[in-house]
Amino acid sequence: MTYAEFVKAEAGALNFEKVSAKIEDARGKKALVYCHDDPDGITSGIILKRLLEKKDISVTVKVPTTMELEESRLKKDIVNHKPDIIFVADKATMGYYDAYADIHDNIIILDHHPLLGEELKRVTVVNPVLGAYQRCSGSSVAHMLASFCGAVDRSDDIAALIGLKGDWAIEPATEDISDYVKPFYDGVKEKYAWLLNKIDSRPTMFEVKQRAKTTLLNQAAEIIFALGGGGFQYFYNDRDKELADVASGRFAFDNLEEWLKNPQPFSSEGAFIGAFPDASRAKKIFEYYLSDWEKTASLMHKADIVKTVDATDIYLFKGENVKLMPMVGSVVLYELPSDKEDVMFIMFSDMGGKGVHFSFRSRTGKLHCGNFAHALALAFQNAIGKEYASGGGHPFAAECRTKKEFPVKEIMCIFEEKLSAL
């Protein structure tokens, strides 16, 4: 099946006709686009912005440092920007988003995360995993929509590839490509062979099952992760005064968007960063990122087994203000000793006044990371308030965070309760 045939086949289930009509109705009007601040969210936002601008729509993009879109933020931005159409890209599919129809009558959720909560009936949803889970990305869904609307080019192709890699839906270094995105990948892999070919170079955060080969795509996606805070607000503005204003994924969004206006093949990660409009600061950020990676990796190997359940060894790591925790953990996960069918790696970081962060990683998803993270978040919400905790994710990877200081002893009591219930 060609990519065009695949998009056509998926169009009905993904509401493309309805969304395309909404976009056409918004010509000459205003759009507000929210996107997650990880590589997939950033590329999803870029593809949507490009699509809307091609349709003569004025676009304002927001890259909040929160996963879910808060009601208070939405209300404030609607007052300030008066949008005619709103896209919420790669920021989860939450049942409570349905109530946002009372705030604005033209909201479109474009996502690839499993539904959390009740089915959405009052806002438009574009999400291919509502029926059954499959590896894909927000960027690939945005590319499919743009393709359906007849508005894709090489810039959108490359953005989609970076997002797919950023959310682990493709792994060109091991030729592990999700079935759902294979029509797209097969259609572009020869055209972008320079980006996808295996190379001998520094392994990235994505080389988890092997560290011998990587690709320029893997390196590019890791750079966008580092520059944007990775969706976890890992910034370096407290280490260098030149980085004082880098406090959101907007820095990565702006640099990548500008580069994508005329994307040229590059031969190294240094050449990729060097082509950014703010290359000097981008290089500084990436150097800090690489340094933090080495420090965190050395700490995580001290993790302990805390439980074995359902043929899964559960390891726990605890630390304070741990940098790059989820990504380093994704690599360390495969280095933890176990003779069981699966390993779940639970990482905990006490961030002081900023709350706590739990990260979950699994080799096979035998124990569903996302379900555990979401259940933990609900328990935290009951203890400290709904607005102060969030969590969820995929079978293999998930996060749970609190957003204000709360006694760590009580946090760990709640966690241990949920752990014992497994």
Residue 318 is predicted with a pLDDT of 96
The CATH number given to 3-159 is 3.90.1640.30
Give 134's contacts (C-beta < 8 A, 6+ positions apart). Answer: 128, 178, 179, 180
Q: Which two tokens stand for residue 127?
A: 């999400």
CA distances from 31 to 27, 41, 343 (A): 10, 17, 44
E strand map for 71-181? 85-89, 93-94, 107-110, 115-116, 124-126, 170-171, 176-177
Distance of alpha carbon 221 from alpha carbon 131, whole angstroms: 28
Distance of alpha carbon 34 from alpha carbon 15, whole angstroms: 19
* Per-domain residue ranges of the chain: 3-159, 194-295, 301-420
Nearest to 261 by CA among 164, 140, 151, 156: 156
41-58: b (≥16 Cβ within 10 Å) or e = bbbbbbbbbbbbeebebe
Tokens 């340094």: give the residue: 291
Tell me which fold the domain 301-420 belongs to: Diaminopimelate Epimerase; Chain A, domain 1 (3.10.310)
Nearest to 369 by CA among 10, 114, 63: 114
Residue 231 is predicted with a pLDDT of 73
From first to last of the 422 residues of the chain, give the pLDDT tens digit: 999 999 999 999 999 999 999 999 999 999 999 999 999 999 999 999 999 999 999 999 999 988 899 999 999 999 999 999 999 999 999 999 999 999 999 999 999 999 989 999 999 999 999 988 899 999 999 999 999 999 999 999 999 999 999 999 999 999 999 999 999 999 999 999 999 999 999 999 999 888 999 999 999 999 999 999 987 778 899 899 999 999 999 999 999 999 999 999 999 999 999 999 999 999 999 999 999 999 999 999 989 999 999 999 999 999 999 989 988 999 999 999 999 999 999 999 999 888 999 999 999 999 999 999 999 999 999 999 988 998 988 888 999 999 888 999 999 999 999 999 98
